[in-house]
Amino acid sequence: MTTFADLNLDEKLLRALKTEGYTVPTPIQAQSIPPLMTGSDLLGIAQTGTGKTASFALPILQRLLRDPKPTPRRGCRALILSPTRELAGQIHESFRSYGRFAKLSSEVVYGGVPIGRQTRALLNGVDILVATPGRLLDLVNQRAVHLGDVEVLVLDEADHMLDLGFIVDIRKLVAMTSIKRQTMLFSATMPKDIAELASAFLRNPVRVEVTPVATTAERVEQQIIFVDTAHKQNLLHKLMDDPTIDRALVFTRTKHGADKVVKRLEEKGIRAAAIHGNKSQPQRERALADFKAGKLRLLIATDIAARGIDVDNVSHVINFDLPNMPESYVHRIGRTARAGATGIAISFCDREEHSFLRAIEKVTRQQIPVVESPLGPGLGMPPQPRVKGQPSPDKPRTTRSGRPVWQRNRPEKSRNDGSRTPSETAPGSRRDDPPRTKEARPYQGKPAQGARPPRHAAPEGRDMAREGKVQRNRGFGRS
Ligand code: AMP
């Protein structure tokens, strides 16, 4: 198996990847990074969630590290064009993470915020500039930035940029860059107009195509159990009667939640350990080693801590809480069914989490089969039909300030940075889904044969980029 260490990446990048908990490149990273490091152009057919950001960010950082130069005044060395400001913010954040040990500067510019700060930030030039096309063109027109020094150009989510009507802007911007540049174009789909753009902008590109992340979701047998939060712990205890659950990763939304689950399992005499950001490195390592060795049947984790967990033969993933980001759901359930094995993912869903479930089903383009709680009926509630003129019953319950109740104790993000509050970004808050009509089957440890056909055909990733993620607007700061 290829690891990042095999890719000849700079030590500073390897260190950053280690900090992120990544050891094994995703398929798009394994296929893209080597040709990009030799200077090839690339046509990548991949969606968000496949790891495509690192597949272009790492070779760009590597190139800038290997060939240090002063930043061009009012210019940049690497330019990444993104369709939305949310995606631009995420890309910028990824560059900041992977480049945390590299002394490189970066900036993100997009519309909807005052232009003056962006103009000032670009005055001395930056190594990496992430931009949405409209705002970048405005900055170019105001002579706040020029593109003559761009050595590497990335067009991310090209199909989405075309859908949003950026084609003319993009052509203008690309024409301002040097023809000697290295170019990468990523798109989730390859319609004729994208193929034409690719042939106009790319020279002998390497073509890399990866199957969308949703295929993980198709490999894993999934079940949903509607259960009120008050009964989730008992439900977990009850599931432990099922001998086929021999090695299960249990996900909670918070660190505190993970500790509480462990404590109550131990009170019942069930051995378990938690792994999350508040645990020391030795504690994490011990928990993981015991889990791998089969000494622990259950490992309770939060999303962040689980990123680096690479354990074979996880028979079940249990979502004690559903994640508010569909992308996290796909990552979580991908912890079972590794290396072609099959696995089962059981998700507990309280009333507050109906909207998360809808968002997950939309992204995975599957309706997750419902099974009856082994605790018996009446301890949970499926989504209710929506009554015209009434607020959606799927809408998360909110506090007086309008935040979802599960966010009650978290500090509110400032809105001045262009970000949206969690209540504005809660998946499903704008949805108007039909009621779930099918009766739940009894829990038998396996889901229904012949799961229902996909209900949604929405392209994955884009909605997440628009709805789910919050952008940040900070540079690396030259150090
Ligand atoms: P992207 O498709 O670039 O939006 O990435 C999807 C998610 O995968 C992000 O949360 C990344 O942080 C994460 N990710 C990217 N590369 C890896 C990797 N090699 N191992 C584990 N997670 C990764």
Question: Who has greater pLDDT, 70 or 385?
Answer: 70
Q: Residue type for 81, please?
A: L
Give the pLDDT confidence score for residue 385 in this predicted structure. Answer: 62
- d(CA 368, CA 214) in angstroms, rounded, equals 13
Could you read off the pLDDT of 234-282 as tens digits, one per residue? 999 999 999 999 899 999 999 999 999 999 999 999 999 998 878 887 8
Contacts 24+ apart (CB under 8 A), 22-29: 22/54, 22/307, 22/308, 23/308, 23/310, 24/310, 25/51, 25/54, 25/55, 26/50, 26/51, 26/54, 26/55, 26/210, 27/210, 27/211, 28/52, 28/55, 28/208, 28/210, 29/54, 29/55, 29/58
Conformational region of residue 269, where left means phi above 0, alpha means psi within -120 to 50, and beta covers everything else: left
* From 84-88, 127-131, 296-300, 399-403, the region with the lowest mean pLDDT: 399-403
Distance 168 CA to ligand 1 centre (A): 31
- d(CA 479, CA 475) in angstroms, rounded, equals 11
Closest ligand 1 atom to residue 94 Cα is 12
Rounded mean pLDDT of 164-189?
Answer: 94
Could you read off the pLDDT of 360-375 as tens digits, one per residue? 988 787 889 999 999 9
Rounded mean pLDDT of 465-476?
Answer: 30
Q: Residue type for 433, please?
A: D
Residue 315 has pLDDT above 70, yes or no: yes
Distance 195 CA to ligand 1 centre (A): 26
Angle, in degrees to the nearest 10, between helices 11-20 and 52-66:
150
| pLDDT band at 459; cut points 50, 70, 90 | very low
Residue 338 has pLDDT above 80, yes or no: no
Give the pLDDT confidence score for residue 288 in this predicted structure. Answer: 87
- d(CA 2, CA 8) in angstroms, rounded, equals 11
| pLDDT band at 401; cut points 50, 70, 90 | low
Closest ligand 1 atom to residue 47 Cα is 2
Of 307, 331, 332, 363, the one to substitute when testing ligand 1's pocket (max ligand atoms within 8 A of C-beta) is 307
Closest ligand 1 atom to residue 52 Cα is 3
Domains of the chain: 4-209 (3.40.50.300), 220-364 (3.40.50.300)
Question: Who has greater pLDDT, 335 or 348?
Answer: 348
Give the pLDDT confidence score for residue 65 in this predicted structure. Answer: 97
H runs (alpha helix) in 21-84:
27-37, 52-66
User: At 272, phi and psi to the nearest 5?
Assistant: -155, 165
- d(CA 119, CA 113) in angstroms, rounded, equals 12
Task: Round the CA-based radius of gyration of the chain to a whole number and report it.
Answer: 23
Query: Quick check: CB of 407 below 6 Å from ligand 1?
Result: no
- The token pair that represents 464 in the structure block: 């997440």
| pLDDT band at 403; cut points 50, 70, 90 | low
Could you read off the pLDDT of 196-213 as tens digits, one per residue? 999 999 999 999 998 654
- d(CA 183, CA 309) in angstroms, rounded, equals 34
Give the pLDDT confidence score for residue 420 in this predicted structure. Answer: 37
Residue 63 has pLDDT above 60, yes or no: yes
Closest ligand 1 atom to residue 46 Cα is 2
Share of the chain above pLDDT 70, in %: 76
Distance 117 CA to ligand 1 centre (A): 30
- The token pair that represents 185 in the structure block: 């174009």
Residue 192 has pLDDT above 90, yes or no: no
Give the pLDDT confidence score for residue 378 in this predicted structure. Answer: 76
Distance 332 CA to ligand 1 centre (A): 12
| pLDDT band at 324; cut points 50, 70, 90 | confident
Rounded mean pLDDT of 109-116?
Answer: 92
Distance 344 CA to ligand 1 centre (A): 22
Give the pLDDT confidence score for residue 146 in this predicted structure. Answer: 97
- d(CA 473, CA 129) in angstroms, rounded, equals 12
Residue 410 has pLDDT above 60, yes or no: no
Which residues are registered as beta bridge partners of 221?
344
Q: Residue type for 64, please?
A: L
**Full-model pTM:** 0.54
Q: Is 345 exposed, middle or buried (0-12, 13-18, 19+ CB in 10 A)?
A: buried
Query: Quick check: CB of 48 below 6 Å from ligand 1?
Result: yes
Give the pLDDT confidence score for residue 310 in this predicted structure. Answer: 63
| pLDDT band at 431; cut points 50, 70, 90 | very low
Give the pLDDT confidence score for residue 357 in this predicted structure. Answer: 94
- CA 90 from chain center: how many Å? 9
Residue 474 has pLDDT above 50, yes or no: no
Distance 52 CA to ligand 1 centre (A): 7
Of 22, 60, 96, the one to substitute when testing ligand 1's pocket (max ligand atoms within 8 A of C-beta) is 22
Distance 419 CA to ligand 1 centre (A): 21
